[in-house]
Structure 1
Amino acid sequence: MNLLGVVGGTGMDTLPDFSGSEQAPIETPYGAPTQAPVVGQIAGQPLVFLHRHGQVNPTPPHLVNYRANVHALAQVGVTHLIGVNAVGGIGLPMHPGALVIPDQIIDYTWGREHTFEAGNSGQIQYIDFAHPYDQGLRQQLIETARELALEHVDHGTYGATQGPRLETAAEIRRMQRDGCNLVGMTGMPEAALAMEAGIAYASVCMVVNAASGMDDRPLSLDTIVEILQRESGVVGTLIAALAHRFYGN
């Protein structure tokens, strides 16, 4: 049976209209996830929610145990997973407040555990990562956003950086030359691990600020928080409607 899951990030501690009870702490072969997955319902449809950073003493992006998080979601039966990411926008149309469903990734991270393969089994899993996001799940997100008349961008290249510091203007210019128009710190290795685990994965990105050097105005934390609060509600509406489409109701 298919089961939809959501990994929430910065600014999304839970989902609007989501009700559920936290499961008993889960152990995985890769340690403990940042929090136990919460199994419940959204708009009357089954859903599993996990906060990527944990809600108590949040873990910074470069230290998140992505392997344990994804494995824990697989353990409770998640077959399709939406990763929600707060990102910076690199040029138009990725302006603050934009909602983006990316189709590609460039990975600039280093030192993270990028695979479930420990290297001692004698087998190596070479996943085909040409298309890092599941095309069917992406299309469901796009069609749902259209039905809700939500303003969105249906493609984009996510540049995953190490963090937790923000990027220099020169780094953003390099990423722009590489073809990135979104920048965030949590898109990888989450996407690759989900594929290894056999979980269909797609991302919804909330652009909360212009990337470094893309705007003459200084970065405003108040503005970022305001956009996060507003767009989290929009994403919650999108996921609730997606759940009905996903389960055929």
Structure 2
Amino acid sequence: MSVRIAIIGGTGVYDPNILTGIRDEKVSTPYGDVGLKIGDYQGKSVAFLNRHGAGHSVPPHLVNYRANIAALKELGVKSIFATAAVGSLNEKMAPGHFVFADQFLDFTKVRKHTFFEGGEQGVVHTDVTDPYCPELRQVLAQAAGEFGLHYHNGGIYVTTEGPRFETPAEIKMLKLLGGDLVGMTSVPEVVLAREKEMCYVNISMVTNFAAGISPTKLTHQEVLEVMAENAENLRKLAMKAIALIDPERGCLCQGALEKLNKE
């Protein structure tokens, strides 16, 4: 059975009791080998990729994003649900809320951002007017509405390099630029998915207000505690969205390079 759907996130996203036939898989890519799990849900094969590795051992600036996305493409994945823990710059997006980002601002510094580096790959300027798949965002909104979850369909995700948290001065700047959320993983993941012509949607769980907005200093433990409290909602949301989509669905995201290839 072809694997058309993938979830990128931590192991807390899935529940082995929901899936059947879970197996470990290793996929070799030109960028490195990727280990992931594949299981079945309501007759659909779903790949689960732990972005930070076993035991959360890989920091965000060292994640092998190209290998991860290339591995999912190799499996035949068409739709990616990517989860993320984020801080909020927007008072309306409170801890515990879900946000399905529709735009990003990129403040990363040292990451490999593209599959196209000249040579055999050529030079390609990929359109990212709608970086996060509008169709999948609508599916998530429908699923969140059915469960009565607090959600926002749209928001600007600011990706910072990490692994440190941001200063209050940086948060003030990012808020002035229009950012709603701050995290460390969406870029280049979303861009690479577009280059591989896969639909990609972001499921951000707000774990805290960012530095300078929050009345207390931020700790990683605080993030983990909110994630744990909301893990069941995150699982329900992701699995309901998977139930709602056709694995073989087509989308404009899946023809992102078509016009470029004809020119």
Superposition deviation, residue 226 in structure 1: 2.2
Q: Which amino acid aligns with 1:3?
A: R
Distance 1:117 1:89, change over 3 A: same
Which moves more between the two structures, 14-23 or 167-176?
14-23
| Aligned equivalent of 1:63 | 62
User: How many angstroms apart in 2 are the aligned matches of 1:122 and 1:225?
Assistant: 40
**How many Å apart are 1:45 and its aligned residue?**
3.4
Structure 1 position 31 matched with structure 2 position 25: no
Hey, what's the Cα distance between the residues in 1 that align with 2:191 and 2:235? 24
Counterpart in the other structure of 2:231: 232
**1:221 deviation in Å?**
4.5
CA contact (8 A) 1:13 1:55 kept: no
Q: Corresponding residue for 1:144?
A: 143
Cα distance, 1:165 vs. partner?
0.5
Q: Deviations over 1:14-64 (max 9, x none)?
A: 4122341111x221011123xx12111235532111000111461100000
In structure 2, C-alpha distance between the alignment counterparts of 1:97 and 1:122, rounded to whole Å: 42
Deviation at 1:152, TM superposition (A): 0.8
Q: Which residue of 1 aligns with 2:255?
A: none
Match of 1:96, SS state, is coil
TM-score, normalising length from structure 2?
0.87
State how 1:1-249 maps to structure 2 within 5 Å: 3-9=4-10, 12-16=11-15, 17-19=18-20, 20-23=22-25, 25-33=26-34, 36-42=35-41, 44-56=43-55, 58-121=57-120, 123-247=122-246
**Structure 1 or 2: larger helix share?**
2
The 2-side partners of 1:161 and 1:77 are apart by: 30
Aligned length: 243
Stretches of structure 2 that go unaligned for 5 or more consecutive residues are: 248-263
Q: Is residue 13–residue 51 contact of structure 1 (8 Å, CA) maintained in 2? A: no
C-alpha distance in 1, partners of 2:212/2:56?
31
CA RMSD of aligned residues (A): 1.8
**Aligned partners of 2:83 and 2:204 also within 8 Å:** yes
Q: 1:56 to 1:148 in 2, by over 3 A?
A: closer
In structure 2, how many angstroms separate the alpha carbons of the residues matched to 1:122 and 1:200? 21
Deviation for aligned residue 1:242: 1.0
What's the secondary structure of 1:203's corresponding residue? strand
Amino acid at match of 1:139: Q
Is there any run of 5+ residues in structure 1 with no aligned partner, and where? none
Tell me the alpha carbon deviations over residues 166-206 of structure 1, each in whole angstroms, 9 at most, x when there is no partner: 00000000000110010000010000000000110000001
Contact 1:8/1:85 (<8 A) preserved: yes
Return closer, same or farther for 1:57/1:203 CA change in 2, 3 Å cut-off.
Answer: closer
Query: Percent identical across equivalent pairs?
Result: 35
Corresponding residue of 2:254: none
Q: Secondary structure at the match of 1:247?
A: coil
Residue 259 (structure 2) aligns with: none
Deviation at 1:222? 4.4
**How high is the TM-score relative to the length of structure 1?**
0.91
Instruction: From the two aligned structures, give the one with the greater strand fraction.
Output: 2
Contact 2:3 2:47 in 1 (8 A): no
- Judged with a 3 Å threshold, the aligned counterparts in structure 2 of structure 1 residues 222 and 190 are, in CA distance, closer, same or farther, namely closer
